[in-house]
Amino acid sequence: MSMKMGWRWYGEGNDPITLSDIKQIPGVEEIVWALHSKMPGEIWEEAEIKEVVDQIHAAGFDATVVESVNVHDDIKIGLPTRDKYIENYKQCIRNLSKFGVKTICYNFMPVLDWARTDLSHDNPNGANNLYMNWGEFAYFDIYILQREGAREDWAEFSKEHKWDRDLVAEADEIKKTSTPEQDHALVENIIIKTQGFVSGNFSEGDSAPVQKFRDLLKLYDGIDKKKLQENMKYWLEAIMPICDEYDINMCVHPDDPPYPVFGLPRIIGRAEDIQWMLDAVPNKHNGLTFCAGSFSAGEHNDCVAMAKQFAERTHFVHLRSCYIFPNGNFTEASHLGGRGHLIELCRIFEKAEQEGKCNSGRRLPMRVDHGMTFTDEPGGVFDESNHGHNAGYTLLGRMFAMGQIQGVIATVDDELGIEYKQPGFYD
């Protein structure tokens, strides 16, 4: 059997794409789901879990992968209250186990989940995609967020990278021409439209999202990389006995982008970071979500080498790829292009699965991650821009990406002598 193909679904009322829509997409066996109404630290109650799992099962899908059960800030910061939230997390694991969940994806990023400055950047073909402009990101930090130490941090960031850019000077130039509307768009893209549905910390109705963001950053004063690592180790050691009892894999999602931002430490962005985590808590249930897109956004990462290094502790795979421009800005690439080298990753993970070396010997779940947004005149067949989808999670864009990846997997399986099947067809 090949990797188990999943589709991320945000649930009824949160996702314009229905389970019946997804059922028609060849190859999808698994719905990757979550209780998106739950705040970090809250217990996922059995009745709430059952309602969603029953919906997924009724549509003919498995529901063994959850993305994500968010980790409360008190755990990441290491406050005395963390033990209460750790106990709540343990209960979430217990409750999820009763309904067949075997894989829980999470992240340990402080405050900010994945970040982009533009959620609809034009591609040469007329579609659009997610995009990061480091100059605009620096401008947001220095002039909109007005974070203490931001100018100094971006000056150092400019020196560390060989992009021949002065990001502080770029931010100053943007300040001269930026309009309130452009500033608002950056706030929407960096805080509201990405962090809201991921962490639950923000919503469209927030009256002062920038101040709220500042307040969250202040919580991490004095938390450096070493301290954040210590807090992650404490948390993992606390939950591993529960994971052992119920045979549930925890798989951390890497930092996106894999660089320190806003003065916050990032601890899952490089090969040495991953190795530290696996060595610190050497339990088979402590593993990795191998997100090729997040890793490939960092010029320091070699995705192929990392896949070979960490295949045996990979419990979940996200297949997407980023393209880094010569100036360091990056965008989502074609799933057959960019720095992710997804063809070779499929070879690595398919082989590891056949040898029973990943995901504790179970089939390795994967999903295509992000997809371009096709554009058209309002009401046209390609008009996806106003469908209400979460950023990066279109229907047509992900279907196209999945078609690319299914072709790759079918070819790789043929090379390995694995019978390839697509659920939904007579053969």
Q: Which residue has the tokens 């499929």?
A: 346
| Amino acid of residue 35 | L
Q: How far apart are the first and last CA of the chain?
A: 15
Please give the DSSP secondary-structure letter assigned to residue 371.
Answer: -
Q: Is 220 a catalytic residue?
A: no
Sheet of strand 128-132, all strands in order from the earlier edge strand to the far edge: 118-122, 128-132, 330-332, 322-324
Asked if residues 268 and 147 have their Cβ atoms less than 8 Å apart, the reply is no
CA distance 167 to 100: 48
The residues pairing with 367 across neighbouring beta strands, listed in sequence order, are 6, 318
Catalytic annotation, pick one of 36, 72, 341, 370: 370
Name the active-site residue from 318, 335, 341, 389: 318
CB 231 within 8 A of CB 280: no
Active site (annotated) includes residue 318: yes
Contact by Cβ (8 Å): 340, 292: yes
Residue 271 burial by Cβ neighbours in a 10 Å radius (0-12, 13-18, 19+):
middle
Question: Other C-beta atoms within 10 Å of 415: how many?
Answer: 11
Let me know if 291 is a catalytic residue.
Answer: yes
Query: Among the options 73, 256, 369, 413, which is catalytic?
Result: 369
Q: How far apart are alpha carbons 409 and 320 in whole angstroms?
A: 14
> How far apart are alpha carbons 220 and 131 in whole angstroms?
27
Q: Any catalytic annotation for residue 393?
A: yes
Of 92, 251, 291, 346, the active-site residue reads 291
CA atoms within 13 A on the CB side of 211: 3
Q: Which residues contact 212 (CB under 8 A, 6 or more apart)?
A: 201, 202, 206
Q: How many CA atoms lie within 13 A of 76 on its CB side?
A: 25
Q: Of the listed 92, 335, 393, 413, which one is catalytic?
A: 393
33 - beta bridge partners?
Answer: 66
Q: DSSP letters along 350-410, please?
A: HHHHHTT-SGGGS--EEEE---PBP--STTSTT--TTS-PPTT--HHHHHHHHHHHHHHHH
Query: With contact defined as beta carbons under 8 Å apart, do 249 and 104 qualify?
Result: yes
What amino acid occupies position 366? M
The set of catalytic residues is: 253, 291, 318, 369-370, 393
